[in-house]
Amino acid sequence: MRRRKDPALIKERHATADVAAVLEAAARSFSGAPRTKRALAERLIKAGYPEEHVITATDRLEAIGIIDDERLARSLVESRDRSRQRGDRALAQELRRRGVPEEIALRVLAERSDEAAGDPLGEGEGTPLSAEERAAYAAAARVRLRGGDARAEVQRVAQALARRGFPSGLSWRIARERVAGAGEGIIPPQPLEGLGEAD
Q: Is 124 left (phi over 0), alpha (psi -120 to 50) or beta?
A: left
Whether the pLDDT of residue 27 is over 50: the answer is yes
Tell me what pLDDT residue 100 has.
Answer: 92
Question: Mean pLDDT, the chain, as a whole number?
Answer: 77
Whether the pLDDT of residue 6 is over 70: the answer is yes
Q: What is the tens place of the pLDDT at every residue in 79-119? A: 887 777 778 888 888 899 989 999 999 898 888 776 655 44
pTM of the predicted model as reported, rounded to 2 decimal places: 0.61
Whether the pLDDT of residue 1 is over 60: the answer is no
Tell me what pLDDT residue 38 has.
Answer: 92
Task: Give alpha helix (H) positions in 64-149.
Answer: 69-82, 88-97, 102-116, 131-142
What SS3 class is residue 42? helix
Phi, psi of 191 (to 5 degrees): -70, 165
Tell me what pLDDT residue 111 has.
Answer: 83
Give domain limits for the chain: 7-63
The whole-number average pLDDT for the span 138-156 is 80
